[in-house]
């Protein structure tokens, strides 16, 4: 009885997440990051006088640096709780996951803390990315000739 009452009370007080608003926020934030990405590519193309294709790694490195720095300042977590997938799906989410894992396990030492846990959250992205790229690449190489 107590448990049931408690559960009802909890259910009543959990704010209902508005799926529609979340989706719009993710769309807008993700879209703005896309514009920033294209802007940085254009900027570096002119700045370093390199082809567009070579500018995109610099753009990715820039976004990773900014996301990593904001995570270290503790700002990024607040932004993520507002924008959700809008910040987690872009490459900023990858940098955030790695930096926050490293920071979180810092107290357990350089080897068993940072070393063992830095890939804790991003490991799955690298693992399944590599496995998928290998399998699909193999299929394409065999059946479509590369």
Partner 1 sequence: MIYFNSFLISGLICLIAQLILDNTKLTPGHVTALFVVIGAALDVFNIYDKIVLWAGGGAMVPITSFGHLLIHGALSSASRYGITGLLLGMFDLTASGITAAIIFAFFMAIIFKPHS
Q: Show contacts with partner 1 in window 39-98 (CB under 8 A).
A: 39-41, 52, 56-57, 59-61, 63-65, 68-69, 71-74, 77, 84-86, 88-91, 93-95, 97-98
Q: What CA–CA distance (Å, rounded) separates 139 from 146?
A: 9
In contact, 30 and 86? CB cutoff 8 Å? yes
What is d(CA 51, CA 30) in angstroms, rounded to the nearest whole number? 25
* CB 116 to partner 1: min, Å: 13
Q: Which is nearer to partner 1, 25 or 79 (CB)?
A: 25
* Residue 29 and residue 86 in contact, taking contact as beta carbons nearer than 8 Å: yes
Structure tokens at 132: 């998928």
Check residue 112 for interaction with partner 1 (CB under 8 A). Answer: no
Q: Where in 6-45 is the site for partner 1 (CB under 8 A)?
A: 17, 19, 22-23, 25-41
């Amino acid at each position: 009885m107590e448990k049931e009452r408690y559960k009802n009370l909890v259910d009543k007080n959990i704010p209902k997440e508005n799926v529609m608003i979340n989706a719009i926020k993710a769309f807008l934030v993700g879209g703005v990051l896309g514009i920033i990405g294209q802007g940085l590519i254009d900027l570096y193309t002119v700045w370093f006088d390199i082809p567009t294709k070579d500018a995109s790694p610099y753009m990715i490195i820039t976004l990773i640096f900014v996301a990593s720095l904001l995570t270290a300042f503790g700002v990024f977590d607040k932004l993520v709780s507002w924008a959700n997938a809008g910040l987690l799906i872009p490459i900023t989410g990858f940098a955030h996951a790695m930096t926050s894992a490293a920071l979180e396990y810092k107290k357990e030492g350089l080897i068993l803390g940072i070393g063992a846990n830095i890939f804790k959250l991003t490991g799955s992205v690298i693992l399944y990315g590599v496995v998928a790229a290998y399998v699909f690449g193999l299929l394409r190489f065999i059946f479509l000739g590369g």
